[in-house]
Amino acid sequence: MTRNGFRHWGNFPSICLIVAAIITLVNGHFVLQIPSSIGFSDIKESEGPCGGFDITSRSKVTDWPIGGYPVGVVSTHPNAHWQIRAALLENTQEFVDLIPNIVQDGLGNFCLGTVPGIADWVGKDAVLQVVQTAVDGQLYQCAAIKFVDGAAASIPGNCRNGSGIVASIDPEYTGTATVPIGPAPTTTTGPAASTSPASSTANRPINPPLLGLLATVICLLDSVLDLSGTF
């Protein structure tokens, strides 16, 4: 079977790959990239407090300066609320907001450049909890951290904002956190804390089942046509 014989279909393998990648992203809900998470499970992400993982896990502990540390996620939900909280390992029932809740619009990489630590907890084992509330309800990821003295940590290059990401402090936030978030390092739409009116638009959910079906059909076509070697 030559490529010429199926010139018309020659783009399918790469489309298949792209669609598969999108499906993976969609299935991911959100993934905590910075700091290192305790663990990620697509299926269990809705299980609090840590998306199906043991909140006491200390296999990777991130030192978190009081001056701040970045939080970077990849989100597949276009309208989301974020809670960034921490609890002491000795009292994991009680989470404390590190920053006010964040409203985020747009898809892809999302970076909060400088999330302050809790000075009273310096030297104590703690757990960071990132909660996303979006079309799938609440989703959770945690990281093992320890607050340390010091100025804000530098922000790694992979903590960044996608081109369509806009974020702001939730105007309806009524919690105790008062420290504003620092500017995000790189974004094409302005700092993460840029002002943006509370979104009154309805959620724009991506439809995973439909996308999944599309991917399946395209990938089946791909394998039937045996074109996997042509890209």
Rounded to a whole number of angstroms, the minimum distance from the CB of residue 171 to Cu ion is 24
Please name the residues in contact with 32: beta carbons below 8 A apart, sequence gap of 6 or more. 40, 71, 72, 73, 130, 141, 142, 143
Rounded to a whole number of angstroms, the minimum distance from the CB of residue 10 to Cu ion is 33
Q: 31-58 burial, b if ≥16 CB within 10 A, otherwise e?
A: bbbbbebbbbeeeebeeebbbbbebebe
By beta-carbon proximity to Cu ion, the closer residue of 29 and 160 is: 29
Helix/strand/coil for 46: coil
**Which region among 21-29, 81-89, 125-133, 223-231 touches Cu ion (by CB under 5 A)?**
21-29
| Contact status, residue 211 vs residue 22, Cβ threshold 8 Å | yes
By beta-carbon proximity to Cu ion, the closer residue of 80 and 169 is: 80
Site string for Cu ion, 92-131 (x = CB under 5 A): ----------------------------------------
Of the chain, the end-to-end C-alpha distance in Å amounts to 15
Q: Which of 136, 214, 218, 225 binds Cu ion (CB under 5 A)?
A: 136
Phi, psi of 40, deg, nearest 5: -130, 130
Helix/strand/coil for 16: helix
| Contact status, residue 64 vs residue 145, Cβ threshold 8 Å | yes
Contacts (CB under 5 A) with Cu ion, residues 40-99: none
By beta-carbon proximity to Cu ion, the closer residue of 73 and 177 is: 73
By 3-state DSSP, what share of the chain in percent is helix, strand and coil, each rounded to 5? Answer: 20, 30, 50
Contacts (CB under 5 A) with Cu ion, residues 141-200: none
Q: Which of 29, 85, 146, 160 binds Cu ion (CB under 5 A)?
A: 29
Ranked by CB distance to Cu ion, the top (closest) residue is: 29
**Which region among 87-95, 132-140, 167-175, 190-198 touches Cu ion (by CB under 5 A)?**
132-140
Rounded to a whole number of angstroms, the minimum distance from the CB of residue 78 to Cu ion is 11
By beta-carbon proximity to Cu ion, the closer residue of 39 and 182 is: 39
Cα–Cα distance measured from residue 222 to residue 10, given in angstroms and rounded to the nearest whole number: 9
By beta-carbon proximity to Cu ion, the closer residue of 31 and 221 is: 31
- List of residues contacting Cu ion (CB under 5 A): 29, 136
